Amino acid sequence: MKRIIYIIFSAILLSGLSLTAQEPIATPTKLSYAKVAKERSKDGKMLTISYEVDVPKGAVKCQQAVLAFPRLVSRDGKQQIDLESFAVMGKVRYKSYSRNVALGNDTRMPLVSTVHKVPYKHLYTFQFPYEKWMAKSDFVVSEQIFGCAQCPKGELAGAINLPDIVTFSKDDYRYSFVEPKAVREKRLEEKFESKVTFPCAQSRLDAAFENNRDELKRLSDFVKKSLSYEGATMDKVVIEGFASPEGSAEGNKRLSENRSLALSNYVISKFPALRKVSNMSVNGFGEDWNGLVKVLKESRPSYAEAMLGIIDKYPNVQARKAALKSYDGCRPYIEMVRDYYPQLRRTTFTMGYAVRFFADQELERIFNNSPQLLSHHELYKLAQQRISKGKSPLEVYQKAYELYQDDRVAALNYANAILKYGKGNYAKVLEILEPYKEMREAMMPRAIALNETGRQQEAEQIFLELTQK
């Protein structure tokens, strides 16, 4: 068969998931093809092609046979799927053909799937796995015409341009930023864990003991910074002390209280302004079993599971201590006392502040000095200021996410900022959005990140769901 030249009669540049039926194919095809449509399934995995063949009486002469070879062809002509071929014959030709078939004679006609006689009308529907090239493809048909002789009398060809199927590409990328709600009041709390060390069973503060000189400087720097925040008034100080679980529980309770008092007296003596704080409390909580469990889980020494099992098994503190000491000849206990117990002799400082709201012109300065003083809404306003000045807001959205990690708006804005203003950290975007992946607002940024990391099928599926909602 000589090469078929596709004749394109119309160009319909539309897009959609469900494509409407097309007008009948124009001459020079002998048969009439109408209601041509292609449709992608909702899950994006299958494609359906449908078209109607309508051949009224007299359209094909009584001695003629028309063999039709329809197919779906990519726009560049490099890929195609053959649909069901068929023949339509005039009344006389069909009788002759049927008789030859019944007698077993060779009809010497090209192979077709079915043979029909005029008048003929039928709606064809085909379904097959969707491939990307099908998004931009057209319905093409070639026909061979036979007269009364057994040789072709001519060839005809025609095509219907089908609208493109919606696919996901960079042109579809959208970045949405959500304005967080403004709050009526602002508060800030900061916690500092002091590693000032006390000798076993003692509560006297010795600056020369072990690394205490450096630790006391760290503590002083923290309090000094806390007292100097612009626009913040310290109105709460909570000092909590803990002891390691040697000796009696009662003795350790008193020890933790005395150590907390020792540190609070030291801090107040250096910073008299703390005396004006309206809400100050100093507490000793005794033995820090929760701290021991945490350090064992994090450090994972060889005996960790056994020690954790003992702690869980014995609610009675004295029985628990006895079991820890007796396990494996006391070796693990001695190592715990040496390696982990000093960390449990700790004191935490929590500072609370009432923070005023800042004017728009103050936001940049406060962000550069003390970003934790800004509310989520103030950070959003600062991001908008930077955008209006042609600057990237990525740093601001990142800080908002760090300060308000449990806020979905902070997560969504940071993810969108990475995609729009960042340098392609798509894995980070997917990590940020994982807790919110069922939310509509997270669908587009997740689709973009997936598409950019080569997971196009997942991205298209999300995009299809998004366009259908």
Q: Which CATH number characterizes residue 84's domain?
A: 2.60.40
3-state helix, strand, coil in the chain (%, to 5): 40, 25, 35
Strand partners, 155: 144
Same domain (yes/no): 113, 225? no
Same domain (yes/no): 318, 447? no
Q: Is residue 316 part of a domain?
A: yes
Last-in-domain residue among 318, 353, 388 = 353
Percent of the chain scoring above 90 in pLDDT? 67
Q: At 282, is the secondary structure helix, strand, or coil?
A: strand
**Confidence band of 127 (pLDDT split at 50, 70, 90):** very high
User: What pLDDT is recorded for position 107?
Assistant: 65
> In which domain, by residue range, is 242 found?
186-353
d(CA 67, CA 55): 13
User: What pLDDT is recorded for position 108?
Assistant: 64
Last-in-domain residue among 291, 318, 353 = 353
Same domain (yes/no): 318, 393? no
User: What pLDDT is recorded for position 442?
Assistant: 96
> Tokens at residue 288, please?
């820090």
Q: How many domains does the structure of the chain reveal?
A: 3
**Higher pLDDT, residue 155 or 42:** 155
Same domain (yes/no): 121, 196? no
Q: At 88, is the secondary structure helix, strand, or coil?
A: strand
Same domain (yes/no): 310, 255? yes
Same domain (yes/no): 151, 292? no
pLDDT higher than threshold 70 for residue 469: no
Q: Which CATH number characterizes residue 424's domain?
A: 1.25.40.10
Same domain (yes/no): 285, 420? no
User: What pLDDT is recorded for position 25?
Assistant: 55
Q: Is residue 370 part of a domain?
A: no
Count other C-beta atoms under 10 Å from residue 376's C-beta.
19
User: What pLDDT is recorded for position 345?
Assistant: 84
User: What pLDDT is recorded for position 29?
Assistant: 85
Q: Is residue 172 part of a domain?
A: no
Q: Is residue 7 part of a domain?
A: no
Same domain (yes/no): 279, 238? yes
Instruction: Name residues whose C-beta falls within 8 Å of residue 62's C-beta, 6 or more positions apart in sequence.
Output: 90, 91, 92, 93
Same domain (yes/no): 339, 258? yes
Mean pLDDT for the stretch of residues 215-242: 93
**Confidence band of 150 (pLDDT split at 50, 70, 90):** low
> Tokens at residue 103, please?
């007698």
Last-in-domain residue among 166, 200, 223 = 166
**Confidence band of 288 (pLDDT split at 50, 70, 90):** very high
Q: Is residue 174 part of a domain?
A: no
Q: At 127, is the secondary structure helix, strand, or coil?
A: strand
User: What pLDDT is recorded for position 222?
Assistant: 93
Same domain (yes/no): 41, 150? yes
Q: Is residue 368 part of a domain?
A: no
**Confidence band of 443 (pLDDT split at 50, 70, 90):** very high
pLDDT higher than threshold 70 for residue 224: yes
Same domain (yes/no): 321, 286? yes
Q: Which CATH number characterizes residue 209's domain?
A: 3.30.1330.60
Same domain (yes/no): 47, 130? yes
What Rg, from alpha-carbon coordinates, does the chain have? 39
Q: Is residue 369 part of a domain?
A: no
**Confidence band of 196 (pLDDT split at 50, 70, 90):** confident
How confident is the prediction for the chain on average, in pLDDT?
Answer: 88
Residue type for position 463: F
Q: Which of 158-167, 237-246, 320-329, 333-342 has the lowest mean pLDDT?
A: 158-167
Residue type for position 286: G
DSSP 150: S
Mean pLDDT for the stretch of residues 98-108: 79
Helices 317-326 + 331-339 axis angle, to 10: 110
Q: Is residue 388 part of a domain?
A: yes
